[in-house]
Amino acid sequence: MGAILIVDAFWGDSGKGKIAAYLSQRSKASFCVRAGTGTNAGHSIYFEDGTEIKTNQLPCGWLNQGTQVRVGSGVAVDPEKFFAEIESFDADFSLRERTKIDFRCPIILPEYKKREAEDSRLTKTIGSTASGTGVALAEFRLRKAKQAKDIPAMSEYLTDVAVEVNAACGRRETVVIEGSQGTHLSLALSKDYPFCTSDNCTAAALADDVGLNWQHIQDVILVVKAMPSRVGEGPLPFQLPPDEEEKRGIVEYGVTTGRRRRKASQISWEHFEYAVMLNGPTQIALTFCDHFDPAISGARCRENITENVKRLIDEIEQRANVPVTLIETGKFYEDIIEL
Ligand code: IMP
Ligand code: MG
């Protein structure tokens, strides 16, 4: 056992939260840990019975009651969002007693959100979520940010996440590390700067965000969206015209901002192979298969995988030389097939 890193291959919104939740539950992870940049990310899970989980700050992998919930020291924390999320899921999932953040996390102040929202270059040209994450990370680099340990209300939630996760991996327990955004939105690795986010989002960056020693990395799961999407500005290869999305009934809206996502008709293999090179995945989770081939919608056993999806899996496995081990066939948490 050890750490399982969940990283997105493209521009985010691929269902990392759902995959992280599934793997945490299946492996009875001792920790699920949020890595990535900050509260710009929206992670959501929908259950068949109507329950919905939507978070911007906390990871989603806490369905298993024994799993501890953590936020790594490289992730910007917005106290308002942090407390609101604990509050809203505490009754069903007892999050108050099992959630902690690293004492070093940089803090998002209300004025940072205002500064981003008033910066039209950021909101209009780049399409930032204006969550205050970019300003918080910039202030952190200038060594001017407040950290979680400077916020009195957070004192009971502080821990050293690096110590906890490395010790758990040393005991051969499972730690699931949930990234944010996507490989091609990485600050220093995107080829589309400034159309990117405020830090890197690769597997190595996620390990760094939580202080994980690389020797504890057991698996890197690359989450590949069968029809990639991009929200905000910046190039999207094979972008579908909006009316084509409507005709096919595959229109998507962002969890954080409610903005409509632009969608591609197919994977750009150039971007895929670049993501494989940067992340070195050991497994691939292929999501949104129902958008790629509606005939697979809601399938829950291998026998019902369609020929179109089988061909896509083959192509992915050949190009990456890594097995596709999970596929997602619909909106619900239950719509996952293990291969
Ligand atoms: P920021 O990180 O909020 O400043 O946004 C910078 C760029 O990254 C914009 O194009 C956003 O739309 C995009 N972005 C930020 N967070 C996410 C996410 O969680 N999913 C998808 N795109 C994101
Ligand atoms: Mg980071």
CA–CA separation, 7 and 280 (whole Å): 10
* Nearest Cα to Cα of residue 327 among 5, 15, 3, 11: 15
Average pLDDT, the chain: 97
The rounded Å distance from CA 91 to ligand 1 centre is 30
CA–CA separation, 124 and 110 (whole Å): 20
pLDDT of residue 254: 86
pLDDT of residue 1: 84
* Nearest Cα to Cα of residue 317 among 268, 272, 265, 274: 272
pLDDT tens track for 30-43: 999 999 999 999 99
Q: Whose CA is nearest to atom 19 of ligand 1?
A: 41
CA–CA separation, 250 and 261 (whole Å): 10
pLDDT of residue 162: 98
pLDDT of residue 306: 98
pLDDT of residue 255: 78
Indicate if the alpha-carbon torsion angle 134, 139, 140, 142 is positive or negative: positive
pLDDT tens track for 140-199: 999 999 999 999 999 999 999 999 999 999 999 999 999 999 999 999 999 999 999 999
* Tokens at 134, concatenated: 């970019």
pLDDT of residue 39: 97
pLDDT tens track for 229-274: 999 999 999 999 999 999 999 999 987 788 999 999 999 999 999 9
Residue 249's contacts (CB-CB under 8 Å, 6 or more residues apart) are 294
Q: Is the shortest distance between the CB of 190 and ligand 1 below 6 Å? A: no
β-bridge pairing 229-230 and 262-263: antiparallel
pLDDT of residue 308: 98
Q: State mean pLDDT over 84-97.
A: 94
The rounded Å distance from CA 240 to ligand 2 centre is 32
Q: Is the shortest distance between the CB of 281 and ligand 1 below 6 Å? A: no
CA–CA separation, 77 and 39 (whole Å): 7
pLDDT of residue 267: 98
pLDDT of residue 241: 95
| Residues 324 and 285 sit within 8 Å (Cβ to Cβ) | yes
Q: In which band, very low, low, confident or very high, does the pLDDT at 87 lie, cut at 50, 70 and 90?
A: very high
pLDDT of residue 137: 98
Half-sphere exposure (Cβ direction) of 52: Cα atoms closer than 13 Å? 7
* Nearest Cα to Cα of residue 204 among 220, 190, 224: 220
pLDDT of residue 304: 97
CA–CA separation, 273 and 31 (whole Å): 30
From the alpha carbon of 116, which atom of ligand 1 is closest? Answer: 4
pLDDT of residue 258: 86
Q: Is the shortest distance between the CB of 200 and ligand 1 below 6 Å? A: no
Q: State mean pLDDT over 98-120.
A: 98
Q: Is the shortest distance between the CB of 134 and ligand 1 below 6 Å? A: yes
Q: Is the peptide bond before 242 cis (omega within 30 degrees of 0)?
A: no
CA–CA separation, 90 and 179 (whole Å): 23
The type of residue at 100 is K
Residue 47's contacts (CB-CB under 8 Å, 6 or more residues apart) are 332, 333, 334
Catalytic residues: 13, 43
The rounded Å distance from CA 74 to ligand 2 centre is 5
* Tokens at 209, concatenated: 């965000």
